[in-house]
Structure 1
Amino acid sequence: MIRRIDLRGREAADHRAVVPRADFDVEAALDVVRPICDAVRHRGVKAILEFSARFDGVEQSDIAVPSVALRAALDGLDPAVRAGLEEAIARLRRTCVAELEHDKVTKVVPGGTVTQRMIPVERVGLYVPGGLAPLVSSVVMNVVPAQIAGVGSIALTSSPQRDTGLPHPTILAACALLGVEEVYAVGGAQAIAMFAYGAGPCRKVDLVTGPGNIYTVSAKRLLKGVVGIDSEAGPTEIAILADETADPAHVAADLVSQAEHDPMAASVLVTPSEGLASDVEAELDKQVSVTRHGERVRTALGGRQSGIVLVDDLDQGLAVVNSYAAEHLEIQTRDASAWAARVVNAGAVFVGAFAPVSLGDYAAGSNHVLPTGGCACHSGGLSVRAFRKAVHVVEYDQAALRDVADHVVNLAEAEDLPGHGAAIRVRFAGKDA
């Protein structure tokens, strides 16, 4: 069901060429999404309705979700699901509040200060996938940090369902629970274009966040610059660094948990223990045979993006997972905390036997909107910081400027930008030195 890759006895400065990774060609998808985005730009809601009919099989007359539908969804929400959402919201709010950065004033010199102001983005568009699985948890993960950051205008969109023409009712209920009133029934690339350009009742936003399929990710790449984006978060992935102390049933269950997201989801085990590898393979056979989405899971586990990677020791294993830069990385080893402290590339790290990725997906207090496809080597997950911008406010009095004037003029001359120096000199022309 899942292939093995044996790196034992091999030296590699960069393991990225041999570690499994999905064939996720965002550039190729640009040819598909470009005409969709252009149509939304020029024809607005009319184009969106046509794409909903073509791609989602839904005939709509409007893209805006009425407030009565939001209230009805919350009223009809299973109390147990509501309790779970409320707990997830409360835990994430705690970590988001702790992330808040406050304005910082630096007295550079007497009479000269630089203040770093943290200013919320004015308007954001949040994308919540609603295709293979209605990711209600993504409502929480997008909305809570935006609210804590102080964003004043929040719009959210998710794919329309065939039976109602609206997003999944659990997604609508979560929106109502969080007080999000501007919700749209639009999915895919057309949703990103709607946010980027504005269409009908949806005004243009400043920033789009949230994961999606290859076409959603491609639209974000295409429209980056027209609108801000958080990251290009594509199909999910899990890597597990484990030794012989790991429970094979736990490891297999965690690999399955991510594989059920999408046929392109990646599940990778890195271990120096051939015994654990064999035991995990046996567990996968047992667990996949009884899981609800067995066909989807088998496709993901059998794909080129998944595998069991055998290494000489945990040091080599650590090098492999750092090269892989997984969206989710579990450490199930002796001294797991010590090994986790040496991880430099991962969207999020889950330490020990009792911190599975599923916990982080819902109620750890962490955010599950994370970089995929190796982007964790340069990017982090969604947080309050994504919804705020740092602005430097510079205040210098005459004496402070005079003190540094010669340096500014000399540097301007070195760059052959005499006008820059003249802007300094003019302030002291005719004045005593």
Structure 2
Amino acid sequence: AKVAGCREIVVCTPCGKDGSVNPGLLHAAKVAGATEVYRVGGAHAIAAMAHGTKTIEPVQKIFGPGNAYVVAAKRLLVGHVSIDLLPGPSEVLVLADEIANPAFAAADILAQAEHGSGHERCWLVSSSARVLKAVGREIEKQLPERSRADYIRKVLKHNGWLIQVKSRAEGIALANRLAPEHCEVMIKDPRSAAKEIVTAGALFLGNTSPTVTGDYVAGPSHTLPTGGAGASFPGLTVDMFQRRTSVVEYTPAALRKSIEAIEQFAGVEGLDAHGRSASIRLD
């Protein structure tokens, strides 16, 4: 928003029980150019920004990720305000073959599951039963070491899948069908596979490109489509914070040159007033 030149940048965030906001978050908001920060989160924050309250003025665009309720609220407001996309609970799909490091794949799955809403989704897709079993063992090994193990278990119980496919091509096809937020490509020649995966929010190639690099330091947008929306929406980009207005100015000579085409279109549509609104200027 700052790079796009927005004059007013509003941030809404939940606060702690004592009313405080994480100082790291406040600093990040300041660096990003926020002009206002409100201690409110969830679907009610979306409603407040869209419709306005006594303390929060209505905005024109509402961007950013949230839980399932935030996504539902944003979906209801499409058309009332500008909505970036529908980034909801986090997702990761790891596409792996024999070159994948099982410990790395397991660690990345645990990382996405630790958000803890229970709605996160984690897939491991491989044509190798050995890889699937090895990653499963690594998950069991690493899970007790994680501080948010209880949250992770809940996610993996309901939305964690180890999927065996027949071939690399079938794995890529499944990735495109699921359109995951994050897609890690731990297979031979990952760059070639990346050209075939066309619906993921972001691709992470090879064994040393964990999803967390995109979360914190890599540079591409961290606000990405989830729930299959990647088939229709890209990640958040600077141009989404801008709006465009067309400006049309014809000279008499230019209008005269175009009048035949205008009248032809008007005739086809049966809208003679349309045609006359141009020809009257040439009488």
- Give the structure-1-normalised TM-score: 0.63
Indicate whether 1:148 and 2:17 are aligned.
no
Residue 151 of structure 2 corresponds to: 296
Indicate whether 1:345 and 2:199 are aligned.
yes
Residue 230 of structure 1 corresponds to: 84
> Contact 2:113/2:155 (CA < 8 Å) preserved in 1?
yes
Q: What runs of 5+ residues in structure 1 fail to find an aligned partner?
A: 1-145
Q: Measure, in 1, the Cα distance between the counterparts of 2:189 and 2:213.
A: 21
Residue 287 of structure 1 corresponds to: 142
Cα RMSD (Å) of the superposition? 1.2
Residue 245 of structure 1 corresponds to: 99
| Greater length-normalized contact order (CA 8 Å, ≥ 6 residues apart) | 1
Q: Measure, in 1, the Cα distance between the counterparts of 2:60 and 2:20.
A: 25
Q: CA deviation at 1:409?
A: 1.0
Q: CA deviation at 1:168?
A: 2.5
Q: Measure, in 2, the Cα distance between the counterparts of 1:219 and 1:313.
A: 39
Residue 183 of structure 2 corresponds to: 329
Q: Which residue, out of 120, 123, 126, partners 1:268?
A: 123
Q: CA deviation at 1:390?
A: 3.0
Residue 157 of structure 1 corresponds to: 12
Residue 173 of structure 1 corresponds to: 27
Counterpart residue identity of residue 54, structure 2:
G
Q: Deviations over 1:334-366 (max 9, x none)?
A: 111111111111111111111110000010011
Q: CA deviation at 1:374?
A: 0.2
Q: Deviations over 1:88-135 (max 9, x none)?
A: xxxxxxxxxxxxxxxxxxxxxxxxxxxxxxxxxxxxxxxxxxxxxxxx
Percent identical residues:
39
Q: Measure, in 2, the Cα distance between the counterparts of 1:215 and 1:344.
A: 27
Q: Relative to structure 2, which stretch is displaced further, 351-360 or 223-232?
A: 223-232
Q: CA deviation at 1:224?
A: 2.0
Q: CA deviation at 1:261?
A: 1.0
Secondary structure in 1 matching 2:245: strand
Q: CA deviation at 1:228?
A: 1.3
Q: Deviations over 1:375-415 (max 9, x none)?
A: 00010011102101233222322212111211111111211
Q: Measure, in 1, the Cα distance between the counterparts of 2:147 and 2:48.
A: 35
Q: Measure, in 2, the Cα distance between the counterparts of 1:167 and 1:232.
A: 25
> Contact 1:259/1:296 (CA < 8 Å) preserved in 2?
yes
Q: Measure, in 2, the Cα distance between the counterparts of 1:226 and 1:177.
A: 29
Residue 89 of structure 1 corresponds to: none
Indicate whether 1:188 and 2:42 are aligned.
yes
Q: CA deviation at 1:200?
A: 2.2
Secondary structure in 1 matching 2:21: coil
Q: Which residue, out of 278, 288, 292, partners 2:133?
A: 278
Q: How does 1:65-76 map to 2 (within 5 A)?
A: none
Q: CA deviation at 1:161?
A: 1.0
Q: Measure, in 2, the Cα distance between the counterparts of 1:158 and 1:381.
A: 21
Q: CA deviation at 1:179?
A: 4.2
> Contact 1:159/1:166 (CA < 8 Å) preserved in 2?
no
> Contact 2:61/2:83 (CA < 8 Å) preserved in 1?
yes
Secondary structure in 2 matching 1:394: coil
Secondary structure in 2 matching 1:309: strand
- Give the structure-2-normalised TM-score: 0.96
Equivalences, count? 282
Q: Measure, in 2, the Cα distance between the counterparts of 1:416 and 1:406.
A: 15
Counterpart residue identity of residue 10, structure 2:
A
Q: CA deviation at 1:273?
A: 0.8
Q: What runs of 5+ residues in structure 2 fail to find an aligned partner?
A: none
Residue 217 of structure 1 corresponds to: 71
Residue 365 of structure 1 corresponds to: 219
Q: Deviations over 1:59-107 (max 9, x none)?
A: xxxxxxxxxxxxxxxxxxxxxxxxxxxxxxxxxxxxxxxxxxxxxxxxx
Q: Measure, in 1, the Cα distance between the counterparts of 2:35 and 2:14.
A: 17
